[in-house]
Amino acid sequence: MYRYFLAMALLLVFGLDAQARVLTVSSWNLGWHMDLATANRWIDLCNKRYVKDAAADVWREGSGPDSKPGWFVDAFKIQGWDTAQYPVCNVYRDRDNDVVFVKPAGYEKRLAQLSKYIASSLPADILAFQEVNGEESIRAILPDNGTDYDFCPISGYKVQRMVIAWKRSLGQKVSCDIEDALSLPNNPPENQPRPGLALSLSIDGTTLRVLSVHLKSRCVSPFENGNLSGGGDHCPILQQQVAPLESWIERVTADDGKVILLGDFNRNFWHELRDPSPVRSDGGSPAAPHTPSSLTNSLIEDVFDGSPAASTMRMLEERCDTNAIGSLLCDVSEIRPLDPAERALLGSPNYLGCTNAVGLDHVFIGSGLKNPLPAEHRSIGKFGGSVAGSKPDGSDQFLSISDHCPTVALIEF
C-alpha cells in the first residue's frame, strides 16, 4: 500500500518525464549505535565497578563502598576507556530519565526491531547514518545483512562515526572521502567534533555527490541559549566549524550542482532565519573572510551567502509524519522553541516517538537537483522509548532504536 501511494505521489509531483530519476534519500542519527559484538563488550565494561581518583579526575576499576557501576560513571573519564570503540554507558534511559542497565538479550532485541523498522518504513536508495560504530553496525540492520548495498564509512576518529549506504543497483562509487577539517584537528582532543563524509556516485553516467555531517551539539538555537557568536563551552566549537564547512561545500559544488547535503546539524536553521541579528557579529558581509572580530550569528546564511553562486543550496521544507496536533507542533517548532510539555508530547509514542524530533536534522540540495516535496521527519512511534525490564537475562528489555527520527526526502536527479 505504501509503495502504491508513493508511486501515485511521484506521478503527480514529478509528472511523466521519462528522463527524470527520482531517488529516496534518508538521514538518521542512530544514537551511539553498535554491532552486537561491540555492544556485548561495552556491556561487560559498563557492568564493572569503578572508583574515582579525585586528584587525577579519573575513574579506575575497583570495589568498595565508594565504587559505582559504569552505568553511573562518565565513561570517557574511566582510565583506559577506548573512545574509538565504546560510547558512554548511560545511552539508554527510560521515559523517567532513569539509566537502563543494558543486557545482551535486550540489545539483540533492539537490533532486530531496528532492522525490521528499516525494512518496512525506510525504503531509501541512499541512507546517511550518524552516530554509528562503523560499517559492520550498519550491515547488521540492513536487509540480508546489507548484501544489496555498498558503503562509504568513516573509520578511526571517535565512536560517533558516519556511514553512507546505498543500493548497489543505483550506481557505482566514484569516491568516498573524509573531510578532516570539520573535526578541527588542531584543537585539544576533547574539543574535536566529528569530520564530514563525502560520497560521489556515478548514476547513469552522471555524478551525484552526497555530503553527510554531524556538527557540534548543544548550540541549537539563537532563541534558546545558542548564541553562535557568544561564549560557553559548545557554541565556540560550532563557530570554528563554519569556515571549514563553507570551504568544503564551495569545493565540491564548484563544477556541478548535483549535490545533497544532509545530516544532524545540531542547529535549528529555521530559528536562525527568523533571528533579526546580523549574519556577522560586526554587521559585515557574510561573503567576507572570517576574522576574530567578524563571527557568525547565522550558520545557514553565512555558509550559503551566494558567493560563489554555484555553492548556493536550498534547504528543503520539512513536515512531520504524525497526526494533526503533531504536525502543528512541528510547524510551531520552526518559529520558536517548544516548551518541555510540547516536546514531550511530540516525542511520545503516539506522535513522532523520538525525543530529538525536530530542529536538528535537515536536507539541502544543489541547483542541479529538484524537490518540490518537503522532507519528512518519519515517526518511530513506540520504538523511541526504553524500558529496563525485570527478567535477569534482559529478554523483556525494550531499548530505543534512536533518540532521533529518520528524515526522508525525494530527490529528482
Q: Does any domain span residue 389?
A: yes
Q: pLDDT at position 231, please?
A: 87
Give the tens place of pLDDT for each residue, 107-127: 999 999 999 999 999 989 999
Stated as kind and residue range, the H or E segment containing 37 is helix 36-47
Q: How would you label 17-52 residue by residue, b for 16+ Cβ within 10 Å and e otherwise? A: eeeebbbbbbbbbbbbbbbeebbeebbebbeebbbb
Name the phi and psi angles at 293, rounded to 5.
-95, 0
Give the tens place of pLDDT for each residue, 336-352: 999 999 999 999 999 99
Name the phi and psi angles at 156, rounded to 5.
75, -160
Q: Does any domain span residue 378?
A: yes
Cα-based angle 377, 91, 334 (whole degrees, multiple of 5): 30
Residue with cell 538518521: 28
CB 404 within 8 A of CB 264: yes
CA distances from 245 to 180, 267, 295, 387 (A): 11, 14, 14, 39
Q: Does any domain span residue 142?
A: yes
Is residue 148 helix, strand or coil?
Answer: coil
pTM of this prediction?
0.94
Q: Does any domain span residue 252?
A: yes
Distance, in Å, from the CA atom of 122 to the CA atom of 126, rounded to the nearest integer, reads 10
Give the tens place of pLDDT for each residue, 311-336: 999 999 999 999 999 999 999 999 99
Distance, in Å, from the CA atom of 395 to the CA atom of 106, rounded to the nearest integer, reads 6
Indicate the Cα dihedral angle 336, 342, 346, 347, nearest 10°. 110
Structural domain including 115 reads: 25-38+99-412
Q: Does any domain span residue 279?
A: yes
Cβ neighbours, 10 Å, residue 97: 7
CATH number for position 379: 3.60.10.10
Grid cell, residue 375, equals 522532507
Q: Does any domain span residue 86?
A: no
Strand partners, 58: 53
Side-chain-side CA neighbours of 51 within 13 Å: the count stands at 8
Q: Does any domain span residue 47?
A: no
Number of domains in the chain: 1
Q: pLDDT at position 3, please?
A: 43
State the greatest distance between any 2 C-alpha atoms of the chain, in Å, as a whole number. Answer: 72
Distance, in Å, from the CA atom of 350 to the CA atom of 293, rounded to the nearest integer, reads 47
Q: How far is CA 201 from the centre of its chain?
A: 21
Closest CA to 110 of 363, 412, 389: 389
**Residue 153 contacts by C-beta under 8 Å, 6 or more apart in sequence?**
134, 135, 138, 161, 162, 163, 164, 176
Strands 196-203 and 172-179: antiparallel
8-state DSSP, 211: E
Query: Where do the DSSP E strands lie in 133-274?
Result: 149-153, 161-167, 172-179, 196-203, 206-214, 259-264
Cα-based angle 5, 370, 143 (whole degrees, multiple of 5): 50
Give the helix ranges, DSSP H, for 210-347. Answer: 235-252, 269-274, 299-303, 324-333, 340-346
Grid cell, residue 66, equals 565508594
Distance, in Å, from the CA atom of 270 to the CA atom of 338, rounded to the nearest integer, reads 13
Distance, in Å, from the CA atom of 79 to the CA atom of 53, rounded to the nearest integer, reads 10
Q: Does any domain span residue 184?
A: yes
CB 330 within 8 A of CB 322: yes
Residues of the chain with pLDDT under 70: 1-19
Grid cell, residue 76, equals 570517557
